[in-house]
A and B are shown apart, each in its own frame.
Chain A
Amino acid sequence: MNLRELLTEHLPQMPEAISGIVMALLLALIPALLVVAAVVTPVGLLGVYAERRLSGKIQDRSGPNRVGISIGPIKHHLWGLGQSVADGLKLLGKEDFVPPGGEKVLFLIAPLIVFGGSLALFAVLPFGPNLVGADPNVGIFYVLSIGALEVIGVLMAGWASNNKWSLIGAMREVAQVGSYEIPMGIAALCPVLMTGSLRLSEIISRQAAEPVIWGVHIPIPGELFLGWNVFAAFPFNIITFVIFYICCLANLKRAPFDLPECESELVAGFLTEYSGMRWGLFFLGEYAAMFALSGIGATLFLGGWTGPVHYLAVHGFGAAPGGIGDIVGGAIEFTWKTSLLFILMIWVRWTLPRMRLDQVMRLCYKYLVPAAMVCMLATAAAALLG
């Protein structure tokens, strides 16, 4: 139904049309709220907790380990798991400040756009068999384009803050993320070349099939590592995976690419003027996007929800396809791969120092783009062989 049909044919039956719109909104809103409550918020809170604990251990200290529960006789420190919740509650109680001279409307909606952009990534994230919000035929294209929405939010935040640090931070973000979209897109094309489809479910099922490397059939189940796209066109897609991962780090503004919020030069970059829950939304959005892009990386290159755990669930315990065992096995499979990539992001952040902007640009245009192109050519040749 297009707009003209809506206006010419459905306008006379407006009450029905309105009820349809209301129904559609409800059908879209309720799952979205469920995803926020059940996935995004826990992922954000646990992500912050994991980051603080791991960085603590890496720096030879403990990290948060006090805030637990104290309900009547039940008292436990819970290894500090309550710290993120306590911090979130503190942020909720803070003043929602808009700097004088700033663009008020842009300033207020910028964090919502950033958070919404990372939230939208979860719509196509395949957590397991049948455990996916939507499986559009433009899967990867959707991921790359909706992931770029974040740049707009950050630019709005930097522009609306009426602060030179914010603006410089936002400009750096635009330069950096805009550059890294190129090798990221080329790297994401390699799994697409091997599959012949942008649809994420087809990319996953191709990796579960019997592996073919440079036209050579290997007679073992594809779920046992070798079918994964990271081993396709061996060894080129290993490099592709590394390139994709580096681009994810750059797009997420994670160290060593955290120039947009570079504390030692720009106070907090585009976040300088933000406080309270709007700042918290930027943070939650960052960790949600970290998880989502780790999940996309796992789906494109590491077999998504197919793999040894899922193989064991189906062939070892005899779970029926589409049954509860199949779904749980797939979800565990997806979670361990995604968590591994997530923890690697934290590990890299607390290891490497921040790069200069010219080094970031040189890494992108001089090294990642040519390497990604070579890998794509090799993958295309491998795809021709079978």
Chain B
Amino acid sequence: MGYFGNIWDGIRTTAQGLKLTTSVFARAVTKGSYTLQYPEENLPIDPVTHRGIHEYDVDRCISCEACAKACPVDCIYIESAPDAKGKPTKGKVSVMTRFDIDYSKCLFCGLCVPPCPSECIQLGARYSLPGHTRDEMVVHFHEGGYPVAEKTDHAKKMIEEFRAEGLYAKKRAERAALGIPTLRPADG
């Protein structure tokens, strides 16, 4: 390319670049930019495949601690109310006094979900947990804040069993006696 060819090339490519940025600018101004204004706008999330903050049913939990044992970072803390002999209750009658997950540790691997015999823990679609302290990163699931949205056939069968035995009302009353609030209407 000769001397004047170089000049022409410089002018041509500069004009080409300016045209490109103008087209992007015009599109961003007229149709809005590609980015979202996060707290007000959110990207749609697939609730089936997304691994977000857990969903948990406190009434159906049998306090078997299978999820806590499966957890690779030990971020699930489980305690249940003691029975007449002073031992923590296990099984259907178990009343949860603590089911905390520390989200400053949790790595959202989902290994806690398959071991659960009552299918009362899942990974949900929520992903926002802002806070100022480490304590705010711990979610107290036994207060019933994040109920399971999608229920499996096995879970539905268990719900019917629990309802027939009147366990929902009984466990809620026992939790209330221990001073644990129930933030949602339980299943049944």
Contact = CB atoms under 8 A, between A and B. Distances in A.
B35 A62 contact: yes
Contact of B21 (A347, A363, A366): A347
B21 to A, nearest CB: 4
Given A60-B34, A62-B33, A367-B7, A352 B14 contact: yes
B18 interface: yes
A350 B24 CA distance: 12
Could you say which interface size class chain A belongs to? 10 to 19
A347 B24 CA distance: 12
A61 B18 contact: no
Given A54-B25, A367-B7, A61 B35 contact: yes
A385 interface: no
Contacts of A352: 14, 17
Contacts of B22: 347
B7 A61 contact: no
A56 B25 CA distance: 9
A347 B20 CA distance: 11
A61 B33 contact: yes
A4 interface: no
Interface in B12-37: 14, 17-18, 20-22, 24-25, 27-29, 33-35, 37
B90 to A, nearest CB: 52
A367 B10 CA distance: 11
Interface residues of chain B: helix, strand, loop or mixed (majority): helix
Interface string A337-373: 0000000000110111000000000010011000000
B6 to A, nearest CB: 8
Contacts of A61: 28, 33-35
Could you say which interface size class chain B belongs to? 10 to 19
Interface in B34-77: 34-35, 37
A75 interface: no
Contacts of A351: 14, 17-18, 20-21
Contact of B29 (A57, A65, A348, A350): A57
Most buried by B among A350, A351, A363: A351
B33 A56 contact: yes
Contacts of A367: 6-7, 10
B10 to A, nearest CB: 8
A155 to B, nearest CB: 30
A351 B121 CA distance: 51
A347 B26 CA distance: 13
Contacts of B34: 60-61
A291 B35 CA distance: 31
A62 B37 CA distance: 9
30 contacts: A54-B25, A56-B28, A57-B24, A57-B25, A57-B28, A57-B33, A58-B21, A59-B24, A60-B24, A60-B28, A60-B33, A60-B34, A60-B35, A61-B28, A61-B33, A61-B34, A61-B35, A62-B35, A62-B37, A65-B37, A347-B18, A347-B22, A350-B21, A351-B14, A351-B18, A351-B20, A351-B21, A352-B17, A363-B10, A367-B6
Interface of A: 54, 56-62, 65, 347-348, 350-352, 363, 366-367
Given A60-B33, A350-B21, A351-B14, 16 more contacts: A57-B25, A57-B29, A58-B21, A58-B28, A60-B24, A60-B28, A60-B35, A61-B33, A61-B34, A62-B35, A347-B22, A351-B18, A351-B20, A352-B17, A363-B10, A367-B7
